[in-house]
Copies of this chain bind each other. A is one copy, B any other.
């Protein structure tokens, strides 16, 4: 999952980026409003964290202009401006959620999770496919009723595959979501990860589509 973070404060930006990357999100950190607008229009991100006090271009303007261009990417607005005034404006402008600084990272993560779920038209923070259950709130996975312990990377991989269950997910797409571009990763890192996941979930849950990628079938074969 790819998140665009728009934040001009160096310290806060770095902290958020670090925290999110630790949760296996891929983060592109932009400091400038103009850049942010361009990036938003591309619609390559799954979610945008937008600070309102920006140089170059005000955050609200960015949001308004993006929505005017029919960009539907979920946006969480972050602002230091306390007060209901700014908040109302933010939601009017098309924000999906709202955080008032200072906030706890825990809270931010929870919002991200619920928003990315909601964006897929699901009400609950839980994905069930066949004998598999993945709970995004508690980060717990069960398989045939038993709780399975997964590492962060394994969890992230499984989440992507389950969100697109029944569809093939390209290698490239997986590598990008899991590792990002900057982090050029060895050729078989993904394969090793798939291997460890299969060890825990049985060897027929994740299907290989040679030359293209992987998928988890919606109906067990």
Question: Whole-angstrom distance between the alpha carbons of A15 and B187 in the complex?
Answer: 11
Instruction: Flag if A44 contacts B211 (CB, 8 Å).
Output: no
A34 at the A/B interface (Cβ < 8 Å)?
yes
Given contacts A34-B84, A151-B211, A152-B212, contact A172 B105 (CB under 8 A): yes
A1-32 near B? 1/0 per residue, CB < 8 Å = 01000000001000100010011001010000
In the complex, what's the smallest C-beta–C-beta distance from A43 to chain B, in angstroms?
Answer: 9
Q: State which of B149, B176, B210 has its C-beta within 8 Å of the C-beta of A104.
A: B176
In the complex, what's the smallest C-beta–C-beta distance from A71 to chain B, in angstroms?
Answer: 14
14 interchain pairs, CB-CB under 8 A: A11-B184, A22-B172, A23-B172, A44-B110, A102-B181, A103-B181, A104-B180, A105-B176, A106-B173, A138-B169, A138-B170, A139-B170, A139-B209, A151-B210
Extra contacts, 6 of them, besides A104-B180, A109-B172, A140-B167 (Cβ < 8 A), are A105-B172, A138-B168, A139-B168, A140-B168, A152-B212, A155-B211
Question: Which residues from B are CB-within-8-Å of A182?
Answer: 102
Question: Whole-angstrom distance between the alpha carbons of A13 and B2 in the complex?
Answer: 23
A119 at the A/B interface (Cβ < 8 Å)?
no
Question: Whole-angstrom distance between the alpha carbons of A178 and B181 in the complex?
Answer: 26
Chain A contact residues: helix, strand, loop or mixed: mixed
Question: Whole-angstrom distance between the alpha carbons of A44 and B105 in the complex?
Answer: 10
In the complex, what's the smallest C-beta–C-beta distance from A123 to chain B, in angstroms?
Answer: 15
A35 at the A/B interface (Cβ < 8 Å)?
yes
In the complex, what's the smallest C-beta–C-beta distance from A91 to chain B, in angstroms?
Answer: 12
